[in-house]
Structure 1
Amino acid sequence: MGIEDLVNQGKEFLEQNKAKIEEVLGSDQAEDVSDNVLDAAADFVKKVAPDSIDAQVDGVRENIDKAVGND
């Protein structure tokens, strides 16, 4: 089985389970987990990157947060 076969199986899985995946991504639990992960990632980037990009990091974090969870 090659990479192309695996990619095709992944695509099929996503199509067959699209409604369930969207439901899970919109759940309270996904919101809590995503908030924790995004906060940790943003804090890390802010520690290692110049202060001048903090606002951009916050913007990216907020945009990603809007896509996952229910808040």
Structure 2
Amino acid sequence: MDFRRVKDYFSWLYYQYQIISCCAVLEPWERSMFNTILLTIFAMVVYTAYVFIPIHIRLAWEFFSKICGYHSTISN
């Protein structure tokens, strides 16, 4: 793939992000604050999902395996 086309595509995606989130009308310092807060919230959601979803899946597996009568050999 051509590097120029990839760069243009990412520029287009960033432009779409600015239009959808109304960042295009913000001043540069407001835009950086908005992007920082949005990135922080996104990072917190990803981290929380990384930490807690496996625990919930394991607990659900244990619950449903007890209901179905399947005994797991996985030790805690």
TM-score, length basis structure 2: 0.30
Which of the pair has more CA radius of gyration? Answer: 2
TM-score, length basis structure 1: 0.32
